[in-house]
Structure 1
Amino acid sequence: MILVLTVFLVLVAIGMPVAFAIGISGFLFFLSQELDLYIPAQVALTQTQNFAILAIPLFIFAGNCLNETGMTRRLLDFASALTGHMRAGLGHVSAVSSFMMGGVTSSAIGDATMFGRILGPAMRERSYAPGFAAGVIGTSAIITTMVPPGTGLILYGTLGEVSIGQLFVAGVVPGILMTLLIMAAVVVTARRQGLPRERASRRSFADVLRAGLSSIWALLFPVILIVSLRFGIFTPSEAGAFAVAYALVVGLLVYREITWARFKLALSNTVNDVGMIMLLIALSGGWGYALSWDRVPQTIMETLTGISANPTVILVVLVLGLLVAGMFMDSTVLILLLTTMLVPVAEMAGLDPIHFGIVMVLTLTLGLLTPPIGIVMLIVCQMFRTDVPTYMRQSVYLWFALMILIVLVILVPGVATWLPQLIY
């Protein structure tokens, strides 16, 4: 397994696409062990034959369709009506919108790109410090991963054989807390930088209600998914198919904004997104086989229990390792590579797989914001024409907010498990 990891890191370092680096390094394991060479092909094919994986392309297609219905504009208007009167109101709009958009985009990278383009010009006009503006857009985008149907949660649930419905529910409270903590960080930063309010007074209740009703179909989307999964109306794959039908009905009959050109754009974007993810899933099969063959989960568990038998201490050690890994690789890739290895470790340590899943996905997603190659970090820094040190320095309170959330979710498992236990 050391050979596999070394080759993988070397290939990534020289710029090879991650999917091919995973496939080549995994194939070398079979050569080194003198195993039959038809096994890698079988394993790659088997990875894609899991019925639950069908939910991934369906939810991605539903999100792309919803983006073409005008929901994004309506959700932004609603968020502005709720928080636009506060200091650095655009920062609050970014956080609240990301929470509400989670069920629509399911992508932190997509959220950061979209809100950077929509809110960025207005932030510059209002003299937001470039590093702070980049930090607000970037950290707000992370909220998306906790709100159903987050792609990271679907991947973790599918590969780790954990209930996707319970994971969706488990992400709600951390998502709300993350939104509130980011908003608190924006308030502190706005006061220290003397940023003005967007509006002199609150919007009237009638205006807020009108904006809320206009975006009600987007707000109902994650609720319908959770309810349908809880009561067994849909399996995760069927819920994905329903999500596509829901998006098309809303776009065609309610908002009447989705055209043939927009539908083709949504379909094209979905093909690109799904092609990348499914290639990663297929080629990661060799890694999963190698991990089981070399008994890596058992070895990790033996090492961790040598440090401590306390499940919380073991979880902290795993989180530190995940934070470091997230600094160098995309969260989706890491979820694919590490889930089959770490879920058995978590279960052997006595950790709830739902709690561990929320911690793992949240921790790896934070890697999108960290040097040296956090993708979201690089996107927002480029958008606001700032460098990484300035971004880190001017976003310090936002980082405190995220660290508080991580510590809270680790030390208080009920933050993630209370709602699933209540509903299920």
Structure 2
Amino acid sequence: MLYVLIFFVIFLLLGMPVAFTIGISGAIFFIQNQYVPFSIVAQKAVSATQSFPLLAIPFFILAGNLMNSTGITPRLIKLATAATGHMSGGLAQVSVVLSSLMGGISGSATADAAMEARILGPDMISRGYSRGYAAAAVSLPSLITATIPPSMGLIIYGFVGEVSIGRLFAAGLIPGLLMMTFLMIAVSISSKKKGYKPVREKKATFKELMIALKDSIWAVIFPLILIIGIRFGIFTPSEAGAFAAVYALFVGIFVYKELTWKKFINVLDSTVEDLGAIMLIISFAGIFGYGIVYDRIPVVLSGFITNITTNPIMLLFIILIFLALCGMFIETTALVLILTPIFLPIVQQVGIDPVHFGILMMTIVTMEILTPPVGVAMYTVCSILDCPTEEYTKESIPFFIAIISELIILALFPDLVLFLPNLIFG
């Protein structure tokens, strides 16, 4: 397996796409191991995608793209502005709340960040925000989508680790809202120092808030419908994805009446592109994962880490720091597919709940799309706003402090994560 890891690192440094890095380095294991038939490469590549729970991914991607094309986003912006527009750094506060609302729609942090950069970014810059601050304010809150259902990352983690996706969805609500609170505090403190003004002169009246809520209610109740439906056995997580797609079609055609045939074709195009990239990584990760299990890497690494400490909290922080370092160089989906089978047995061995670990893991690995050197969302937003990455990195420090503070609290107080899933599912 040593040769596999060496080639894996070399391919990453050469800039090879992550999917092919995983696939080719995984195939090298079979080439240099004469006791394993090479035909297993094809078998593992195909079998990795042959799973009923994975059906949730294309359905939720389709649902998210549909809902983004039905006029829901402008209505959510109106609601977020009514709720927070009177605060210091009004547009940055709007971005934080909008990400919390969009978490239940897009399920993708990169898509959320790109959308907000195009809609809110230029307006923030025209109002005197620095480009770096505007880029940080529209990209870092997108991390909330890693926890608020339906998160694509939680679905993949649940599939790989055989963890209840329904419990993961329920567990993501409180951490998502807590992250929103921490980020709003960071915006309030930093924007006051920089003198960024509110969007509105006065706080919205209760009537204005109710009107804005009524206009966007179809999006706001979406995550709750999913959790309730899964809890009461109306549908499985995979069937929930199919329901979400039908729900999005219903909203677009009959409620807002903004989903045209042309928009629908564009939605299908973008869904196929998104799904193709994700499924290619999942397929090739099946090849790579076989070598990890064959050489008993999880067992060896488990023994090594537990020799350092068996204290659950210390062990959890060691693993999270390792995940943060790996995430700086490896794409999020690939990281979850490769490392979940390794670390999940270790944390379960010391009594850490897999749902608790899943929320922390997905937050920390998704955060890396917002950091150098391979931060996809970071480069996307900086490109849209014509912002140097150095300026973005400097201005994003208060936001990262807020996110890390929230992660520490969640790690120390697991009941914040587990309260809702235990309440709903027992």
Partner Cα distance (1:64, 1:391) in 2: 28
Q: Distance in 1 between matches of 2:262 and 2:278?
A: 25
Distance in 1 (CA, whole Å) between partners of 2:66 and 2:389 is 34
Q: CA deviation at 1:394?
A: 2.0
1:303 aligned partner, one-letter code: F
Please tell me whether the aligned partners of residues 122 and 385 of structure 2 are also in contact (alpha carbons under 8 angstroms): no
- Contact 2:19–2:284 (8 Å) recurs in 1: yes
Is 1:97 the counterpart of 2:98 in the alignment?
A: yes
Alpha-carbon contact 1:92-1:183 (below 8 Å) kept: yes
**1:250 maps to what in 2?**
251
Matches within 5 A, 1:236-315: 236-315=237-316
Tell me how far 1:400 sits from its aligned partner.
Answer: 1.2
Aligned mates of 1:341, 1:222 — CA distance in 2: 30
Q: Deviations over 1:252-300 (max 9, x none)?
A: 1111110111111111111111111111111101121111111111111
- State the one-letter code of the partner of 1:332: T
Partner of 2:15: 15
Structure 1 residue 206 displacement after superposition: 1.2
Which digits, 9 at most, give the CA deviation of each residue in 1:206-226, with x for residues without a partner? 111111000000111111000
Alpha carbons 1:288, 1:341 under 8 Å: kept: no
Match of 2:201 in 1: 200
Does residue 1:36 correspond to 2:37, yes or no? yes
* Superposed CA offset, 1:67-112 (max 9, x none): 1110011111111111111111101110101101111111111011
Moved more, 268-277 or 383-392: 383-392
Task: Report Cα offsets for 1:166-220 as digits up to 9, x if no partner.
Answer: 0001111110011010000000011101111211101221111111000000111
Q: 1:103-160: per-residue Cα shift (whole Å, max 9, x none)?
A: 1111111011100000011101111122211111111111111110000000000011
AA aligned to 2:378 is M
Measured in 1, the distance between the counterparts of 2:153 and 2:147 equals: 9
Q: What amino acid is aligned across from residue 97 of structure 2 in structure 1?
A: V
Amino acid at match of 2:20: F
Secondary structure in 2 aligned to 1:284?
helix
Q: Please tell me whether the aligned partners of residues 51 and 237 of structure 1 are also in contact (alpha carbons under 8 angstroms).
A: yes
Q: CA deviation at 1:390?
A: 2.2
Secondary structure of the structure 2 residue equivalent to 1:386:
coil
1:114 counterpart residue number = 115
Report the CA distance between 1:389 and its aligned residue: 3.0
Distance in 2 separating the partners of 1:349 and 1:41: 36
Matches of 1:42 and 1:382 in 2, distance apart?
A: 40
- More displaced 10-residue stretch of structure 1: 238-247 or 338-347: 338-347
Task: Name the residue aligned to 2:232.
Answer: 231
Contact 2:18 2:331 in 1 (8 A): no
Between stretches 157-166 and 38-47, larger displacement belongs to 38-47
> What letter matches 1:120 in structure 2?
G
Distance 1:280 1:196 in 2: 44
SS of the residue corresponding to residue 103 of structure 1 reads: coil
- Measured after TM superposition, the shift of residue 422 of structure 1 is 1.1
Aligned length, in residue pairs:
424
Match of 1:332 in 2: 333
Instruction: Report the AA paired with residue 354 of structure 1.
Output: V
Q: Secondary structure at the match of 1:215?
A: helix
Paired amino acid for 1:131: G
Answering whether residue 174 of structure 2 is matched by residue 173 of structure 1, we say yes
Q: Is the 8 A contact 1:61 1:266 kept in 2?
A: yes
Tell me how far apart the structure 2 counterparts of residues 253 and 387 of structure 1 sit (CA, whole Å).
43
Q: TM-score, normalised by structure 2?
A: 0.98
- Percent identical residues: 45
The residue aligned with 2:138 is: 137
The secondary structure found in structure 1 opposite 2:386 is coil
CA contact (8 A) 1:301 1:349 kept: no
> Displacement, 1:380?
2.3
SS in structure 2 of the partner of residue 250 of structure 1 = helix
For residue 120 of structure 2, give the secondary structure of its aligned residue in structure 1: helix
Unaligned runs of 5+ in 1: none
For the 8 Å contact 1:67–1:105, the answer to whether it is kept is: yes
- Deviation (angstroms), 1:388: 2.8
User: Cα distance, 1:387 vs. partner?
Assistant: 2.5
Shift of 1:383: 2.9
The secondary structure found in structure 1 opposite 2:59 is: helix
Q: Which whole-Å CA distance do the structure 2 matches of 1:262 and 1:122 have between them?
A: 25
Q: Does the 8 Å contact 1:88/1:187 carry over to 2?
A: yes
Other structure's SS at 1:109 match: helix
1:108 aligned partner, one-letter code: A
| CA–CA distance in structure 1, aligned partners of residues 266 and 58 of structure 2 | 15
Query: 5+ unaligned residues in a row in structure 2: which ranges?
Result: none
**Structure-2 separation of matches of 1:32 and 1:359:** 36
* Counterpart Cα distance in 2 of 1:257 and 1:396: 39
Paired with 1:295 and 1:321, the residues of 2 have a C-alpha distance of 19
Give the match for residue 418 of structure 1. 419
Q: CA deviation at 1:12?
A: 2.1
Q: Which position in structure 2 is the counterpart of 1:146?
A: 147
1:46 aligns with 2:47: yes
Aligned partners of 2:132 and 2:73: how far apart in 1?
Answer: 25
What is the 5 A alignment of 1:328-407? 328-407=329-408
Q: Match for residue 189 of structure 2?
A: 188
SS of 2:203 mapped into structure 1: coil
TM-score under structure 1 normalisation? Answer: 0.98
What amino acid maps onto 2:334 in structure 1? V
> How far apart are the structure 2 equivalents of 1:268 and 1:349?
45
Q: Does the CA-based 8 Å contact 2:289-2:338 persist in structure 1?
A: yes
Is the 8 Å Cα contact of residues 167 and 421 (structure 2) preserved in structure 1? Answer: yes
Q: Which amino acid aligns with 2:376?
A: I
Question: 1:66 and 1:382 mapped to 2: Cα distance?
Answer: 25
How far, CA to CA, are the matches of 2:122 and 2:131 in structure 1? Answer: 11
Aligned mates of 1:385, 1:247 — CA distance in 2: 33
